[in-house]
Chain A
Amino acid sequence: MSAPAETAAQIRSAISAETWDLPSFTRELTEARATNPFGDEAVAFCTELSSALLHPSSQGAGQAQVISLGYWLRPASIRRMSESFQRSGGPDVLLVPRGRVFHVTPANVDTMFAYSWLLALLAGNVSVVRISSRETELASRLLDTIAAILDQPAFAGLRRANRLVRTDHDDAIVAGLSAIADVRVVWGGDETVDYFRRFPLPPRGRDVTFPNRHSLALLDAAAIRSSSDEELAALADRFFNDAYWFDQAGCSSPRLIVWRATSGEDAEDARQRFHSAISEAIARRSLEIETGLAITKMVFAFRRAAAHDGLTIDTPSNEITWVELPDLTGYDRTHSGGGLFFEFVTGDLAAELAGLVGPQDQTAVCYGLDEDAVLELARGLNGRGIDRFVRVGRALEFSATWDGFDLLGEFVKRVVVDV
């Protein structure tokens, strides 16, 4: 049914009217030159982009995501990244870019493509970023901002070396771009990763994959019980951001809450306080979940209830469903998104997590657990899962250390100079 690959393969710029066929596109890419890590042009670009994103005019729907990205790119933050990057080299090691990076970005997490691309850019690489065709208003505003800056003469070099494109769903294009990639970054579900793995990289090429992940919250009942109304409201606002920014479908969005409680009374009281605080946070943001999603969540919750004895489902509004689990055996990580939280109460957090945690678990947002306790948990888990323990409110705060590895490190080679 499909046309011959040579004629079907169309690559369109996501920031201008340019289009390419595959051979001319790959020729341009192989001619583009990598630059030194943290070069002046790259740093200046990040600074420009940061101020454009933090400017009041670029705010609108999804502004919190835009502001996060803007903050992440501000000069002080880039300087810290650069310093820690240089330190990671060491006395006899020079860090150089890997070369060409092919980024496949998630369909609907609007700002995600920017993070992995900008890290590759800062490391000096030539990048192709495949932007999802299912573009949101936020993503297109972001692309417009990027285009306006890249069009300035000062960034002509970066513009040649960084291509934000849309492609047809075409095996030939994926194969062609993979064949010249030194690093291929695949954000997406397990199926996406499997799909891209079918297309070989050059012998020395490396895959950096970000497959399906699941995230959770670890809350201490006593801490919630003893928090003031103001503290609780602030906590609920931060938790709201963690959970609802990506309709609870982001890899880092918490879906399961594991409560540490010393007594049933402790747990009940803390849960009630927390539940009403979340309902109030939802009301403050005037979030309304569409009817279709509310029904989808109902189907999902009922499926779970049908599979086990002893669940309770509480749906105070379309925006939120609480599903209390009697135990974590056979806990299923698939999820409906849209504001549905599994809850489980335990007196022995370490033991429960030891039984539960696996390689899909990415982020645990924590409240009421001190650093020593968390370090002990992380040591106990010893790499079996959970790559990030962060405070509530920081689930979606991107960092160059992600999914357990150092992304900047993935975008460079280490050249030994010891003469």
Chain B
Amino acid sequence: MDDRLTQLVGAEQYSVREHDKAPLMNAGMRELVERHRDRCLEYRRILAAAYPDAAGARDLAATPYLPVGLFKWLELKSVPEDDVFKVLTSSGTTGQVPSRIYLDIETAQLQTRALSSIVTHYLGPRRLPMLIVDHPGVIADRRQLTARGVGILGMMSYGRDHQFALDSNMSLDLPAVEAWLERHAGEDLLIFGFTAMVWQYLQEPLADRGIDLSRATLIHSGGWKKLVDVGVSNEGFKVRLREVFGIERVHNFYGMVEQVGSVFFECPAGFFHPPNFAEVIVRDPRTWLPAPIGTEGVIEVLSLLPLSYPGHALLTEDLGTIHGLDDCPCGRAGRRFTIRGRVPKAEVRGCSDTHVRPS
């Protein structure tokens, strides 16, 4: 790992201001473009075909980017097969092609250190007793992990005395949870789970039991679609958890299997922030140029971590808005942004798709 990256990962997160960060990210991106161009045939061909002027890119937004969906179709790696230490796959819905992300040891370690640097920023250096709003089966087979499993396993290293809140039938294991709470009475706690599961399997069954979780920090992720369907907003989610359990510290995070380690945590003011070693650009969906601050567009995520695969600049299929630079009420430096949802799925007409569903 080079000095710049060590510094950015090791430094206190969210400490680098826009003015200082831009040249660091830009230089890092140029190195990664060269690195992957040299080592990944497919990436080299894509650059030649679509970004003939990539070498001259002077600002961050001109960095060639790949649509994140490409990882579902191509095995993109910049290391020899023998150096592949781990392959991450996205769970996706049944029938969807999963993304495959190839990690060597160096990138895997970088991801771990990066995530650790972000999580300790919010939780402090001590590992807290951890309640996982899921069932233990989700991490049972370490070789066949879903994205949910990867997320949980990744977070587990930041907690201790792990307790799964659900049994294999996805119902709340109340006696176990109560025993765990009793064991850690008066301590700071960590609760982790996927947004919709926290809502459905923790909040709903425990709502009327007067349980005090005011010493807990809740970290959750995994999309809002299911909650939006039942009429719950990010704000509504936080208000409800405060009312029911007294939880004050609720952090949503935004991340993807294609850039593990580069996660965007929601600050107390309700904005996502890129860590020191990552950046976010919002692109106008017509011109694909960076959208003005305050204007919604398609989110591109940049990260200095992907050394073993060309995933350093990715156009996501999420819509969001950058609200300001270096001006978040929470005091964190850099960009602050929100996410609204997914780009609507493309539907192509045509005569080769008479719809049948062979039963």
Contacts and interface: CB of A to CB of B under 8 A. Distances in A.
Interface of A: 2, 104-109, 112, 132-134, 136, 169-171, 186-192, 195-196, 198, 210-213, 246-251, 253, 290-296, 298-299, 301-303, 305-313, 315, 317-318, 323, 336-338
A272 to B, nearest CB: 16
B70 A246 contact: no
Contact of B70 (A190, A248, A250, A299): A299
A106 B348 contact: no
Contacts of B50: 301-302, 305, 313, 315
Contacts of A106: 350-354
A301 B45 CA distance: 11
A105 B356 CA distance: 11
Q: Is the interface of B mostly helix, strand, loop or mixed?
A: loop
Given A292-B317, A298-B67, A302-B67, A337 B343 contact: no
Interface string B142-154: 0000000000000
B209 interface: no
A2 B358 CA distance: 12
B41 to A, nearest CB: 8
Contact of B346 (A132, A290, A303): A290
* Chain A CB within 10 Å, residue with most, of B43, B46, B349, B359: B349
A299 B73 contact: yes
B357 interface: yes
A186 to B, nearest CB: 7
A301 B298 CA distance: 19
Nearest to A317: B286
B39 to A, nearest CB: 14
Interface string B69-113: 110011010000000000000000000000000000000000000
A170 to B, nearest CB: 8
A129 B97 CA distance: 34
* Chain A CB within 10 Å, residue with most, of B41, B286, B353, B354: B354
A147 B350 CA distance: 25
Given A302-B66, A305-B46, A295 B346 contact: yes
A212 B354 CA distance: 11
Interface in B153-204: none
A291 B284 CA distance: 10
Contacts of A251: 350-352
Nearest to B283: A291
Contact of B315 (A170, A189, A292, A295): A295
Contacts of A198: 358
A132 B74 contact: no
Nearest to B40: A306
B344 interface: yes
Contacts of B73: 299, 303
A407 to B, nearest CB: 15
A32 B70 CA distance: 54
Contacts of A188: 351-354, 356
B19 interface: no
Given A188-B353, A290-B344, A299 B45 contact: no
Given A107-B353, A251-B351, A296 B346 contact: yes
A189 B42 contact: no
Given A308-B45, A318-B286, A134 B74 contact: no
B46 A108 contact: no
B26 to A, nearest CB: 23
B355 A246 contact: no
Given A291-B285, A291-B298, A292-B343, A337 B350 contact: yes
Contacts of B126: none
B49 interface: yes
A189 B349 CA distance: 12
A133 B74 contact: no
Contacts of B347: 293
B64 to A, nearest CB: 10
A305 B354 contact: no
A309 B354 contact: no
Contact of B348 (A293, A305, A309): A293
A133 B354 CA distance: 10
A225 to B, nearest CB: 25
Contacts of B355: 107, 132-134, 169
B319 to A, nearest CB: 8
Nearest to A291: B285
Nearest to B352: A189
Contact of B45 (A192, A247, A293, A306): A306
B353 A108 contact: yes
Nearest to B353: A107
A199 B304 CA distance: 56
A192 B357 CA distance: 9
A249 B298 contact: no
* Chain B CB within 10 Å, residue with most, of A134, A290, A295: A295
Closest 4 CB pairs of A and B: A249-B350, A188-B354, A306-B42, A305-B49
B49 A250 contact: no
Nearest to A136: B349
Interface string B316-359: 01000000000000000000000000011111111111111111
Interface string B28-72: 000000000000011101101110100000000000001101100
A171 B356 CA distance: 10
B359 to A, nearest CB: 6
Contacts of B45: 305-309, 311
A184 B73 CA distance: 37
Contact of B69 (A109, A295, A306): A295
A105 to B, nearest CB: 7
Contact of A302 (B46, B349, B356, B359): B46
Given A249-B349, A295-B67, A187 B46 contact: no
A109 B343 contact: no
Contacts of B348: 247-249, 293, 296, 336-338
Contacts of A186: 354
